[in-house]
């Protein structure tokens, strides 16, 4: 029986359309497996500092007038920073440059064997302060806005709490876990009764990337299968395939972690939840989130499976800032910062918030 209003010609047309898509899927499928991965991170930049696992990038300004206060973005220690710069038109970095910001990014390489003993202290009391000094020198200004993504947000928050007298002028955090107790799946995966983190770290030194990636995959075990099915269903769509490949490349580019850092995060943040409890100490200094007084923008994703809202929301209650704003946006952990949702929602909001505080 025909659908109401659809004659034999309409049915034949729809059938022909499905045939064309099926043919395109097969042709494009062969091209997909034969072609190289898409280029990412194309916005021009200079590596102004490199030290072991640490890279500091400065992106070349594209406007004549640049805001006085530079931006320093801190990437999560588990992934590469090119998620901020996927492709022209899909690049947060490109967007910020066009709005007139002076942009720097802390990116990470796999830690070397001699870096297996790196701890939180090294990141927040050594790496970040070192980079901030170089940003200050290059931009010739004392003030810096610090922006952290995921675990990069955790490092940024800890840094800001331990440096309450500056030089940070503004702090922005994306999908940043502060309270680790609600991470139920991760809690189950790393149950201290069965997960021997000491043996793992003492044996391996560096935690391999596949172990780190497994932790993410266990939070959504069917995600890769569902993603592959969506890819096949849309293989005829060049734009969809291009976007999928960029995100898939970034998602698969998980970094290994320094063993001591992994041990410390597991025990002190995940198991003992010391950050939200105010009992975390680094080199004899207690991390007190109420010491943070600078303007704060806290951005969370409504459908974040890695850092659920319950893990992030405590930041707004803990910081001592009078000027603080929380924004809950549609999207997931990655689509919050990259992709069509980010272009329409998060990027304009970030620009509006920064513009008022970067002069």
* Cβ neighbours of residue 144 closer than 8 Å, sequence gap 6 or more: 69, 70, 71, 72, 132, 135, 136, 167, 168, 169
Which among 158, 151, 159 has a CA at the least distance from the CA of 175? 151
* Cβ neighbours of residue 18 closer than 8 Å, sequence gap 6 or more: none
Distance CA 267, CA 116 (A): 17
Contact 151, 293 (CB under 8 A): no
Contact 151, 306 (CB under 8 A): no
311 is catalytic: no
Task: Provide the token pair at 63.
Answer: 């406007």
- The single residue listed with the structure tokens 């849309």 is 234
Contact 235, 82 (CB under 8 A): no
Task: Provide the token pair at 37.
Answer: 């991965």
333 is catalytic: yes
304 is catalytic: yes
* Sign of the dihedral through C-alpha 343, 349, 353, 359: positive
Catalytic pick from 102, 131, 150, 298?
A: 150
Catalytic pick from 102, 122, 304, 311?
A: 304
Catalytic residues: 150, 304, 333
């Amino acid at each position: 029986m025909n659908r109401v209003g659809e004659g034999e010609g309409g049915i034949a047309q729809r059938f022909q359309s499905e045939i064309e898509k099926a043919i395109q899927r097969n042709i494009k499928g062969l091209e997909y497996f034969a072609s190289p991965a898409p280029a990412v991170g194309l916005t021009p930049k200079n590596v102004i500092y490199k030290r072991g696992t640490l890279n500091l990038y400065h992106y070349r300004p594209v406007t004549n007038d640049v805001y006085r206060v530079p931006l320093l973005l801190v990437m999560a220690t588990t992934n590469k920073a090119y998620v901020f710069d996927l492709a022209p038109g899909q690049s947060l970095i490109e967007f910020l440059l066009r709005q007139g910001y002076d942009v720097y990014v802390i990116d990470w390489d796999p830690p070397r064997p001699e870096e297996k003993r790196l701890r939180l202290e090294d990141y927040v009391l050594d790496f970040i302060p070192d980079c901030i000094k170089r940003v200050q020198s290059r931009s010739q200004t004392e003030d810096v806005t610090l922006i952290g993504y995921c675990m990069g947000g955790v490092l940024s928050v800890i840094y800001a709490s331990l440096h309450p007298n500056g030089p940070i002028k503004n702090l922005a955090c994306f999908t940043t876990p502060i309270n680790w107790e609600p991470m139920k799946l991760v809690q189950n995966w790393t149950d201290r009764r069965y997960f021997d983190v000491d043996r793992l770290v003492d044996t391996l030194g560096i935690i391999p990337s596949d172990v780190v990636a497994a932790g993410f995959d266990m939070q959504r075990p069917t995600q890769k299968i569902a993603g592959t099915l969506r890819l096949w269903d849309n293989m005829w769509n060049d734009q969809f395939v291009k976007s999928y490949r960029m995100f898939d490349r970034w998602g698969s580019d998980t970094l290994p972690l320094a063993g001591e850092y992994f041990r410390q995060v597991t025990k002190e943040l995940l198991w003992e939840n010391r950050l939200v409890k105010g009992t975390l100490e680094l080199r004899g200094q207690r991390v007190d989130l109420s010491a943070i007084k600078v303007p704060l923008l806290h951005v969370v994703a409504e459908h974040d499976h890695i850092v659920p809202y319950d893990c992030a929301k405590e930041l707004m209650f803990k910081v001592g800032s009078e000027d603080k704003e929380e924004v809950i946006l549609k999207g997931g952990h990655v689509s919050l910062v990259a992709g069509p949702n980010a272009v329409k929602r998060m990027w304009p909001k970030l620009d509006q918030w920064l513009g008022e505080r970067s002069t």
